[in-house]
Amino acid sequence: MDRFQERIDQAKKALAALQELTALRQPSIVQRDALLLRFMLATEAIWKAVQRHLQEEHEIEVGSPRESLRSTLAVGGLSAEQAEEILFLLRDRNLIVHTYNEKLAAEVVSRIPAHAKLLEIWLSGLKRA
């Protein structure tokens, strides 16, 4: 299996693990923390798959999630509106990676179901780009 396909498979698994927890209505504190962790891991896995796709299919080198988002938009893998929403998703991811605050955690958790859908769109954008 080539490295690109490995990245895609990892991203799909991470996204599936995240989606499994998004169905919880009232997550416990432990479930909430697991949801936040899975969100961070899925985001990381997907941007790394996008990075590999851009490198192999478009000969574009990117070094950050934001760069990969901009490049995906440039090659037609996302609409401008989707890219804007994913930019907000990346902001949420950065907030929880670099800061832990109960109120912030609750706010981000409330947005994770929508973020999971955006991550799925970003990953599926690899097929269009």
Q: Are 47 and 123 in contact (CB under 8 A)?
A: no
pLDDT single digits (tens) 15-68:
999 999 998 888 999 999 999 999 999 999 999 999 999 999 999 999 999 999
What number of other Cβ atoms are within 10 A of residue 74's Cβ? 14
- Who wins on pLDDT, 37 or 101? 37
Q: Are 50 and 72 in contact (CB under 8 A)?
A: yes
Q: How confident is the model at residue 102 (pLDDT cuts 50, 70, 90)?
A: confident
Q: Residue 30 and residue 28: Cα distance in Å, rounded?
A: 5
The pair of three-digit structure tokens given for residue 112, joined into one six-digit string: 């994770």
Domains and CATH numbers, the chain: 3-125 (1.20.120.330)
Average pLDDT score, the chain: 93
What pLDDT score was predicted for residue 50? 96
76: left (phi over 0), alpha (psi -120 to 50) or beta: left
pLDDT tops 70 at residue 129: no
